[in-house]
Chains A and B, each alone.
Chain A
Amino acid sequence: MIWSWIPANADRILALTVEHLRLALIPVVAGLLLSVPLGWLANRYRVARAVLVPAAGMLYTIPSLTLFVVLPGILGTRILSEINIIVALTIYTVALLVRSVADALAAVPGLVVAAATAMGYRPARRFLDIELPLAIPVLVAGLRVATVSSISLVSVGALIGVGGLGEFFTEGFQLQFPTEIITGIGMIVLLALAGDAVLLLIGRVLTPWNRAGGAR
């Protein structure tokens, strides 16, 4: 480990970190936005669940490098386009979250929903104001897993030339320079831990009633 390499390359580390976060976090946000309506469908209609949940499981089974490599042919993008990585990781996020959302919505107590209906909530408002907030803890748990895996998986993209901090792995391998690889691993683990902590915090802030409930 040559420590002086890190300050000497601070600019590049920063630039790749920004690229890495862009590649990892856009899919998490897009995946979340897509999986809420899909999860709602899966929870509401049995047929939708019978299709969506196994399909999500199958998509999650496909190794990431495979998706990265195949997507240009399907999307018509260039192989070096960031879109391939973003779409692939969005697919993984949706695959992970659809089930979380469906399970979280199913776990909302029926009496609470009935009470909201009795208070005059219409279905759309009831979903946004009552059911979705109550689903937050399970949703955040799923989102934390999705975020951490997304941050880690971006680096595999380095094999096809777009991998954020993963570039340090392929370059460090070719130059036989471990310092670069260790820096990449360290940064990725730090980003993942930070992302995890931020989501944990957001989850706490969004569910004040869980703390007000007192010691359990």
Chain B
Amino acid sequence: MNIVGDVIAWFADPSHWSGSTGVPARLLDHLGYTVQALLIAAVIAVPLGSVIGHTRRGGFLVVGSANGLRALPELGLLTLLVGFTGLGILPLTITMVVLAVPPLLAGTYAGVRNADPAVVDAARGMGMREREVLTKVELPIAVPLIVGGLRTATLQVIATATIGAYIGLSGLGRFLIDGLARNDYTEMAAGAVLVAALALVVEGLLGGLQRLIVSPGLRRAQARLRAPRQAPVFAGGTAS
């Protein structure tokens, strides 16, 4: 199809790679909005989820917010906020934080809450204070699930950052919105390729991270758990 060639030609055009309207600048803006919102969301959600998971009080808040906010249309929230704050990065950031908090909260809560009770009891038995139990035992165990929550949150935020172009912000969504306004399908398609690629790359990286960062102590424990599965080989060896 011709459109594939057009999009390749679009990417080959050096004018699309330089200046404040080029791909690198808009990609950086997109990432900047994303990281900023995720940091704010993490500062809210991780401590809150830890406390709720540790004390086991208020779990309904976590479940309720995760389910309820799925129904909230992000474009509606964004356009509504503009009415209160005016145009600019603030309404987009608030929208992204609102969308990012529930999955991060749910991940942290689930991770802390599902820490093996025997391990938590052992930590208490060793004389750890409650704060230490949380920060030295439960949170390290929870890390993979927290990163799982971060994955969901990041995808939401990257998608929402795209919509930010509608209220005049930068980011890769500009190519979609501008292309739409100018009826330039090539630009739209190129923008779509960029946004999809960004989402897939970030998702892949975070998925890898989730597998990698398991607390070293737990990695040994998992290795020990896995060991019996290899045992039959040795058992067979000794039996014969």
Chain A residues engaging chain B, CB cutoff 8 angstroms: 57-58, 61-67, 69-70, 72-73, 79, 145, 148-149, 151-153, 155-156, 158-160, 163, 166, 168-170, 172-173, 176, 178, 181-182, 184-185, 188-189, 192-193, 196
Contact = CB atoms under 8 A, between A and B. Distances in A.
Contacts of A65: 159, 162-163, 173, 176, 195
Contact of B196 (A57, A62, A149, A160): A62
Interface of B: 3, 67, 70-80, 82-83, 155, 158-159, 162-163, 166-167, 173, 176-177, 179-180, 185, 188-189, 191-192, 195-196, 199-200, 203
Contacts of B166: 159, 170, 173
A188 B162 CA distance: 21
Nearest to B202: A61
Contact of B167 (A61, A160, A173, A178): A173
27 contacts: A63-B196, A65-B162, A65-B173, A66-B195, A69-B191, A69-B192, A70-B188, A73-B3, A148-B70, A149-B70, A152-B70, A152-B72, A152-B74, A156-B74, A156-B163, A159-B166, A169-B78, A169-B79, A170-B75, A176-B83, A178-B80, A181-B79, A182-B80, A188-B73, A189-B72, A192-B71, A196-B71
Contacts of A70: 188-189, 192
Nearest to B175: A69
Nearest to B183: A79
Nearest to A72: B185
* 4 closest cross-chain pairs (CB), A and B: A192-B71, A63-B159, A173-B79, A185-B76
Contacts of B185: 72-73
Nearest to B84: A178
Contact of B73 (A62, A67, A72, A155): A155
A67 B176 CA distance: 11
A64 B73 CA distance: 12
A66 B196 CA distance: 7
B162 A66 contact: yes
A193 B71 contact: yes
Q: Interface on chain B toward A: helix, strand, loop, or mixed SS? A: helix
B162 A185 contact: no
Contact of B75 (A62, A66, A155): A155
Contacts, number: 119
A207 to B, nearest CB: 21
Nearest to A153: B73
A159 B76 contact: no
Contacts of B173: 65
Nearest to A188: B73
Contacts of B79: 169-170, 172-173, 181
B82 to A, nearest CB: 6
B76 A151 contact: no
A208 B21 CA distance: 59
B83 A178 contact: yes
Given A181-B79, A185-B80, A63 B162 contact: yes
Given A63-B159, A151-B71, A69 B76 contact: no
A170 B167 CA distance: 10
Given A62-B199, A65-B173, A148-B70, 7 more contacts: A58-B203, A73-B185, A169-B76, A181-B79, A188-B73, A192-B71, A196-B67
Contacts of B159: 63-65
A159 B71 contact: no
A61 B195 CA distance: 10
A185 B83 contact: no
| B71, B159, B203 pick with most chain A CB within 10 angstroms | B71
A181 B80 contact: yes
Contacts of B74: 152, 156
Contact of B71 (A64, A158, A184, A189): A189
Contacts of B77: 185
